Amino acid sequence: MGTIPSETIEQIAAANDIVEVIGSYFPLKRAGANFKALCPFHQEKTPSFTVSPSRQTFHCFGCGVGGSVFRFVMDYEHIDFPSAVRKLASRAGITVVEKYRGGGADDEQRQRELRQGLLKLHAEAAQWFHENLIKKQVGEAARKYLRARGITAEIAKRWQLGYAPEEWDAFCSWARTRSYDARELIASGLVKTKDETDLAQTQTSNLKPLTSYDRFRGRIMFPICNDVGEVIAFSGRLLQDKEGAAKYLNSPETALFRKGSVLFGLDKTKRALIEANCAVVCEGQLDLISLFEAGITNVVAPQGTAFTESQARILKRFVNEVVLCFDADAAGQKAAERSLDALLENELIVRVAEIPPGEDPDSLVRREGKGAFETRVEGARDFFDYLIEREAAASKPESYPERIRLARRIVEMIARVPEPLLRGEIVQKTAARLNLAAEELTKLLPAIPTREVKLPVADRIQLRVPQVIEELCRLALRNPEFREFLRSQDWQRVLVEHEWGTLVTSILEAQLDVTKPDSIDAFLNSVDETERSFFSHLLTEKLSTEKAPGRRGWIKPEIDAMRVGKESWSFLQKDSLRRELKRVETLMAQPNVSPGDVINLQKQILDLREQLHELSQPAGPADK
Ligand SMILES: [Zn+2]
């Protein structure tokens, strides 16, 4: 990945007004100098999400998220910084030229060109497959099949479904007319080569030797997209079941496609996932499309059968809970169990929806409709309830040894729950169900290392910053005169004494010009997430002196701000002096202090007391 020059980033920031950008996602209401809306990052009834057009920042006073226009796009779209920059660049019609430096530059450049070539090939291939399905004679049988499963032309268009003809060379010939070379086609995984032995056999059998052939033949094609909606791979479903051929075939891993890190449908469903805070997980692409089209839009499908660690990690960025809607058959049950580890590891709550034998989400939602399916999702049982019921039904444990044997099996699963409270709860439940004492079950649990629990965005604990530091930060950020005053003080020495002093230090050290949005943006990007939340709050809120202009009649707000700021500063100075005084006094009290040191320390103590006394005097005539 190259770097985007900072001039370009500034240019992009300048061309994307934060009110317009956020306003294009959801309506904003004017509230004085700012704009307000219900926060998209947490559930709320009264708007605390605030956008400041003058600072070009946003902040939610409910959950603490905040930052620049780039931060908003990153958080809202769940994309990284370079992607947010590119997205806003294209919105403003600015071309991003990335810089490549360092030793691996050539290699990086080649990789990038390869990826871009593959993206173009995939986009065109998806269109070609799609046209086969929609317009061509060759797609008739596929059209019929999809119609029978309730997939209309409109739905096929929305998901860009396609058809790969039942031929060895249909895709290859098309691709050659588009002048893609063999190397590129093979790198895309859409074309396979015959190995040497295959070649020899073909030649002895007198057939026209084919060195390469289409991977997908006679299949309905589902484009697999990355989370910004670019086609990166395909999944093909066999139109007519054939012996020895897999019903579903996916693209192999390529420079674009890492099978275990893509969730089918995510590009279309992520907003719904965030809103529901819950993902309905189904196995197949058709299941997902049927649910989505029926109006159940918070859906994803893992590629393959069970969740990988990286898929679960991606999902956790959007939801806290998943409802598995896997088929009732043995394969579906296995997939559910094998998904569990990855899901629990990522602290997702896992529930299992009841799918009657012989049905799948696709057939169910078409037969019963949206409402009935939603009832199933709502009624989905906790994974462990489901597991206990299933195991108990299978083995009917009556005697004590049988119940203990079953408990051992379930405890193996419980051990995978990383969160101790949740684990304890499941132990209680299992014990009750098996008519065993909870302590007995706990004893069966292997030792579990404690882990740090990450809080989701909406519950994030905000910095509990002392009032005096908050006041100093607020004014240092927003009042240039006060910032200059602080910089004229002995600020490094004073701030280093205070545990929260670094917050003020980072403002004073930054080349910050609050009249320039790109300067604010650079500053907010230089601090960590909790600090960003704290600073964006201070930048976006109204100042108390702005809230009630003329509150003090003849005192101008700026003077008021300076007075408040200086009081806070003097408080901190005194605090720092007292700490120093205490340190020196402790040194004095040491048993073997040399007489020379005693004189020195006494002098320091006097000096510090003097300074403290001066600071405690009411403001002299110079301040009037
Ligand atoms: Zn919020």
Taking 50 as the threshold, does the pLDDT of residue 204 lie above it? Answer: no
What residue numbers bound the domain in which 243 lies?
A: 114-257
Residues 247 and 316 grouped into a single domain: no
43 C-alpha to ligand 1 centroid (Å): 7
CATH number of the domain that 323 lies in? Answer: 3.40.1360.10
Tell me the pLDDT band of 361, cut-offs 50, 70 and 90: very high
**Distance from C-alpha of 551 to C-alpha of 3, rounded to nearest angstrom:** 50
d(CA 358, ligand 1 centre) in Å = 43
118 C-alpha to center of ligand 1: Å? Answer: 39
Read off the pLDDT of residues 579-608 as tens digits, 9 standing for 90 and up.
Answer: 888 888 888 887 777 888 888 888 888 888
- Residue 102 domain-assigned? no
Cα 59 to averaged position of ligand 1 atoms, centre (Å): 8
The domain boundary residue, chosen from 429, 444, 459: 444
Among 81-85, 160-164, 541-545, the minimum mean pLDDT is found in 541-545
User: Which of 257, 281, 298 is at the close of a domain?
Assistant: 257
Q: Are residues 292 and 237 in the same domain?
A: no
Token reading at 618: 């009411």
In this predicted structure, the answer to whether residue 72 has a pLDDT above a threshold of 80 is yes
The CA distance from 538 to 474, in Å, is 6
Whether residues 316 and 253 share a domain: the answer is: no
Q: For the chain, give the percent of residues with pLDDT over 70.
A: 88
pLDDT above 50: residue 453: no
Same domain, 24 and 65: yes
Counted domains in the chain = 5
Rounded Cα–Cα distance for residues 311 and 341 (Å)? 12
Q: How far is the CA of 42 from the centre of ligand 1 (A)?
A: 5
- Please indicate whether residue 491 or residue 280 has the higher confidence score (pLDDT): 280
In the reported structure, the alpha carbon of residue 473 is separated from the centroid of ligand 1 by a whole-number distance in angstroms of 22
Calculate how far, in angstroms, residue 38's C-alpha sits from the geometric centre of ligand 1.
8
* 39 CA to centre of ligand 1 in angstroms: 4
| 185 Cα–ligand 1 center, Å | 46
pLDDT tens-digit map of 220-279:
999 999 877 889 999 999 998 877 788 889 999 888 888 888 899 998 998 888 888 899
Q: Are 336 and 364 in a shared domain?
A: yes
Highest mean pLDDT among 35-39, 122-126, 391-395: 122-126
Question: Where is the domain boundary, 344, 379, 414?
Answer: 379
Same domain, 52 and 10: yes
- For ligand 1, the distance from its centroid to the CA atom of residue 307, given in whole angstroms, is 30
Q: Which two tokens stand for residue 500?
A: 């929260």
62 pLDDT above the threshold of 80? yes
Asked if residue 106 belongs to a domain, the reply is no
How far apart are the C-alpha atoms of 49 and 42, rounded to whole Å?
A: 10
- pLDDT of 546: 44
Say if pTM beats, i.e. exceeds, 0.75. Answer: no
* Between 494 and 330, the higher pLDDT residue: 494
pLDDT digits (tens, 9 = 90+) for 312-347: 888 887 888 999 998 877 777 788 888 887 888 888
Which residues face 67 on adjacent strands? 58
Query: If you average pLDDT over residues 298-315, what whole number do you get?
Result: 84
- Indicate whether 202 pLDDT > 50: no
Give the 3-state secondary structure of residue 253.
Answer: coil
**535 alpha carbon to ligand 1 midpoint, in Å?**
15
Q: Is 455 inside a domain boundary?
A: no
Distance from the alpha carbon of residue 350 to the mean position of ligand 1, in angstroms: 25
Q: Are both 427 and 527 inside the same structural domain? A: no
Residue 410 placed within a domain: yes
Q: How confident is the model at residue 478 (pLDDT cuts 50, 70, 90)?
A: confident
Residue 226 burial (CB < 10 Å; 0-12/13-18/19+)? middle
30 CA to centre of ligand 1 in angstroms: 18
Cα 528 to averaged position of ligand 1 atoms, centre (Å):
18
Q: Tell me the average pLDDT across 443-466.
A: 53
Residue 462 inside a domain? The answer is no
Q: What is the C-alpha to C-alpha distance for residues 268 and 297, in angstroms, rounded to an integer?
A: 8
Ligand 1: centre distance to CA 50 (Å): 9
Residue 281 pLDDT > 90: yes
Question: Residue 219: phi, psi to the nearest 5?
Answer: -130, 145
CATH number at residue 190: 3.90.980.10
Residue 493 has pLDDT above 60, yes or no: yes
